[in-house]
Amino acid sequence: MNSTLGMLRWDICLSYLDDIIVYSSSFAQHLMDVRRVCQVLHAGNFTLNASKCSFFQDEVCFLGHKISVDGCCPTPDNTRSILDFPVPRSSKTAHSFLQMVGFYRKFIPQFATISHPLNKFTRKDLPFIWTDVEQHAFDQLKAAMTSPPVLTLPDPSQPYIIRTDASHVGIGAVLLQQQPSDSPRSATLTYKPIAFASRSFQPAEKRYSAIELEALAIWWSVTDKFHVYVDGQHFFLETDHKPLLSLMKKPYNNSRIERWMTTLQQYNMTIRHIPGKDNTTADALSRYPVEQPSPINDPPTALPTPCLNLVTTRSMAKKLHPPDSHVTSTTTHTTQSPPHSLAPANTAAAHSSRSFDIRSTSHATLFDVDLLNLHQNQDPTIRRIKETIPLNSRYVLRNHNILHRVITRHNVPPLHLPYIPASLIPSVLALYHDSSCNGAHFGIQRTFYKLRDRYYWPNMYRDIKRHISSCLQCRQCKPSRRKPDGHLHPIPPPPGVWSRLAMDYVGPVPASSNGNKYFIVLTDLFSKYAVSKAVPDNTVRTAATFLLHDVFFIYGVPIEIITDNDPHFSSSLYAALLQLTHCCHIKTTPYNPQSNGQCERHNATLVPNLVALSNSSRSDWDQKLRAHDQIYCSNQTCHSTSHPRTTTTHQTPF
Per-residue pLDDT tens digits for 192-247: 888 777 777 788 888 898 889 999 999 999 999 889 889 888 999 999 888 888 77
Greatest mean pLDDT range, 102-106, 153-157, 182-186, 478-482: 153-157
By CB neighbour count within 10 A (0-12 exposed, 13-18 middle, 19+ buried), where does 407 fall? Answer: middle
Beta strands in 294-428 (DSSP E): 326-334, 355-359, 364-368, 395-398, 402-409, 412-418
Residue 545 contacts by C-beta under 8 Å, 6 or more apart in sequence? none
Rg (CA), the chain: 36
Q: Which of 172-176, 281-285, 426-430, 583-587 has the lowest mean pLDDT?
A: 281-285
What is the per-residue pLDDT for 322? Answer: 41
What CA–CA distances, in Å, run from 40 to 1, 25, 361, 634? 10, 21, 17, 80
Residue 145 contacts by C-beta under 8 Å, 6 or more apart in sequence? 74, 79, 82, 83, 101, 104, 107, 108
Whether the CB-CB separation of 235 and 209 falls below 8 Å is answered with no
What's the whole-model pTM score? 0.38
Residue 64 DSSP symbol: T
Model confidence at 289: pLDDT above 50: yes
3-state secondary structure of 623: helix
Residue 388 contacts by C-beta under 8 Å, 6 or more apart in sequence? none
- What percent of the chain is modeled with pLDDT above 90? 4
Phi/psi at 23 (5° precision): -130, 145
What is the per-residue pLDDT for 355? Answer: 41
Query: How many other CB atoms are there within 10 angstroms of residue 607's CB atom?
Result: 15
In angstroms, the CA 302 to CA 293 distance is 15
Question: So where are the chain's domains?
Answer: 2-69+297-339, 74-146, 160-287, 357-477, 500-649
Whether the CB-CB separation of 518 and 638 falls below 8 Å is answered with no
3-state secondary structure of 238: strand
What CA–CA distances, in Å, run from 281 to 166, 195, 221, 287? 12, 11, 14, 10
What is the per-residue pLDDT for 179? Answer: 72
In angstroms, the CA 507 to CA 71 distance is 71
In angstroms, the CA 310 to CA 19 distance is 12
Q: What is the mean pLDDT of residues 165-183?
A: 77
Model confidence at 311: pLDDT above 70: no
* Fold match flag (160-287 vs 500-649): yes
Q: What angle do CA 289, 293, 294 make, to 5 degrees?
A: 120
Which of these, 304, 293, 309, lies nearest to 99 by C-alpha position? 293
By CB neighbour count within 10 A (0-12 exposed, 13-18 middle, 19+ buried), where does 153 fall? Answer: buried
Model confidence at 55: pLDDT above 90: no
In angstroms, the CA 190 to CA 177 distance is 8
CA quadruple 212, 215, 216, 221: dihedral, nearest 10 = 170
DSSP secondary structure string for all residues of 413-436: EEEEEEB--GGGHHHHHIIIIIST
Whether the CB-CB separation of 435 and 361 falls below 8 Å is answered with yes
Question: Is 3.30.420.10 the CATH classification of the domain at 500-649?
Answer: yes
643: pLDDT confidence band, cut at 50, 70 and 90? low
Model confidence at 162: pLDDT above 90: yes
Determine the CATH number of domain 160-287: 3.30.420.10
Distance of CA 468 to the CA centre of its chain: 14
278: pLDDT confidence band, cut at 50, 70 and 90? low
What is the per-residue pLDDT for 2? Answer: 79
Which uninterrupted H or E stretch holds 533?
strand 530-535
Sign for the CA dihedral angle at 4, 358, 7, 440 comes to: positive
DSSP secondary structure string for all residues of 124-160: SSS-----HHHHHHHHHHHHHHHSPPPBPPP-TTS-E
Q: What is the mean pLDDT of residues 407-424?
A: 81
Say which CATH architecture domain 74-146 belongs to.
2-Layer Sandwich (3.30)
Determine the CATH number of domain 357-477: 1.10.340.70
The dihedral region occupied by 610, where left means phi > 0, alpha psi between -120 and 50, and beta the remainder, is alpha
In angstroms, the CA 564 to CA 506 distance is 12
